């Protein structure tokens, strides 16, 4: 199937601020998109520190979209099919589109690292349905992806995190395929700073608790929602991502939060301005792209591509300065399939 993902990226590229994305990163973004069949929702992970114009590309897929095919018939798509690292992803996607375990996974996000040289395969992140799904179900889906049981210590660490949520569901579970350090990425949703502090102590997180909570206390007052992203190797890593979301009044909230990050030296001023320039809408696909989209999904969609800031993540790692990343999101006409 001929892909149209690259046409989405071409439509969005003029809105990507040059302060956030280098020309080399933009070229690698186009290469990654050329391999994909379809993308109506996704985003870009941007480093907010100075002199870091590297982005990662994220693509959201539903089971129905997976059934239409993940990779395009372009030369880039064919090259991806020939890579062994892609084989388990394509096999899982095909099974997900038609099997009973799809109820455990609402959507899948593929994350393409666009540094040079990029990994052979994207990371894979499973998101729970709105009504929630068991962590065991998400772990089983990951094992179906890899074709092998996850290490017992890794599973035990993930379940320890879930127990600390006191019956609440995890938000997502991912696996960083293609990276030198493969790990689970577990996201725990909707915590207050106090709950985050207690949870990190209860799960015996091995990082610098005082520093992480100090970072959370400094910036959480400027956000509506806080989540924790915990990487898990053979056990919990001493690194944590503090994710900050704005739900109520993003037009006023994002300038405040990004301004605080600039003030603390975690975000370059031009990158903060670039983040704030992103929200809006981009023109729909050109006529050729709209025609191929209509043939692909069975209906036209001339609506614009919506752009927004999704969240900011502050990563605390041992022996390193806190790193800030911004996540730019896009969605075509409110979603289609």
From the list 101, 72, 71, 75, the residue with the least C-alpha distance to 85 is: 71
What pLDDT does 299 receive? 53
Residues 6 or more apart whose CB falls under 8 angstroms from that of 4 comprise 37, 38, 285, 289, 292, 293, 296
Global pTM?
0.92
* 94 φ, ψ (degrees, to nearest 5): -65, -40
- Output the pLDDT for position 206: 98
Distance of CA 133 to the CA centre of its chain: 19
Instruction: Say which residue the tokens 């019956």 belong to.
Output: 167
Return the structure tokens found at 330. 């896009």
Q: What tokens were used for 11?
A: 């439509």
Per-residue pLDDT of the chain (337 residues; tens, 9 = 90+): 456 788 888 889 999 999 999 888 899 999 999 999 878 899 999 999 987 788 999 999 988 888 878 998 889 999 999 999 999 999 999 999 887 555 678 889 999 998 767 778 899 999 887 555 578 889 998 999 999 999 999 999 999 999 999 888 899 999 987 666 779 999 999 899 999 999 999 999 999 999 999 999 999 999 999 999 999 999 999 999 999 999 999 999 999 999 999 999 999 999 999 999 999 998 766 666 666 666 655 555 567 889 999 999 999 999 999 999 999 999 986 544 4
Q: What is the pLDDT of residue 336?
A: 43
Q: Is 177 helix (H, G, I), strand (E, B) or coil?
A: coil
Residue 211: is it exposed, middle or buried by C-beta count within 10 angstroms (0-12/13-18/19+)? Answer: middle
Token pair for 25: 């990163």
H/E segment holding residue 295: helix 287-297
pLDDT confidence of residue 337: 44
User: What is the rounded distance in angstroms from the CA atom of residue 123 to the CA atom of residue 95?
Assistant: 18
Cα–Cα dist 158/290, whole Å: 43
């Amino acid at each position: 199937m001929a892909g149209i993902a690259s046409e989405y990226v071409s439509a969005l590229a003029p809105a990507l601020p040059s302060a956030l994305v280098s020309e080399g990163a933009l070229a690698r973004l186009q290469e990654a998109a050329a391999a994909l069949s379809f993308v109506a929702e996704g985003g870009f992970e941007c480093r907010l520190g100075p002199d870091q114009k590297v982005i990662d590309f994220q693509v959201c897929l539903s089971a129905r979209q997976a059934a239409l095919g993940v990779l395009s018939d372009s030369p880039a798509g064919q090259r991806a099919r020939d890579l062994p690292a892609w084989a388990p992803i394509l096999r899982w996607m095909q099974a997900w589109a038609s099997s009973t375990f799809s109820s455990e996974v609402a959507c899948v996000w593929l994350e393409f690292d666009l540094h040079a040289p990029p990994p052979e395969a994207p990371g894979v992140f499973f998101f729970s349905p709105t009504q929630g799904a068991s962590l065991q179900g998400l772990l089983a889906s990951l094992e179906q992806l890899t074709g092998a049981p996850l290490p017992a210590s890794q599973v035990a660490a993930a379940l320890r995190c879930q127990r600390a949520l006191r019956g609440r569901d995890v938000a997502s579970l991912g696996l960083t395929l293609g990276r030198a350090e493969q790990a689970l990425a577990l996201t725990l949703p909707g915590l207050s700073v106090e709950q985050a502090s207690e949870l990190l102590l209860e799960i015996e997180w091995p990082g610098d608790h005082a520093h992480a909570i100090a970072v959370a206390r400094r910036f959480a007052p400027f956000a509506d929602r806080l989540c924790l992203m915990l990487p898990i190797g053979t056990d919990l890593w001493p690194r944590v991502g503090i994710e900050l979301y704005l739900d109520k009044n993003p037009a006023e909230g994002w300038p405040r939060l990004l301004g605080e990050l600039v003030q603390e030296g975690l975000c370059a001023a031009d990158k903060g301005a670039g983040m704030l320039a992103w929200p809006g809408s981009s023109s729909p696909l050109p006529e050729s792209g709209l025609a191929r989209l209509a043939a692909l999904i069975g209906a036209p969609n001339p609506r614009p591509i919506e752009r927004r800031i999704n969240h900011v993540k502050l990563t605390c790692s041992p022996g390193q300065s806190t790193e800030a990343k911004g996540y730019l999101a896009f969605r075509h006409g409110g979603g289609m399939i």
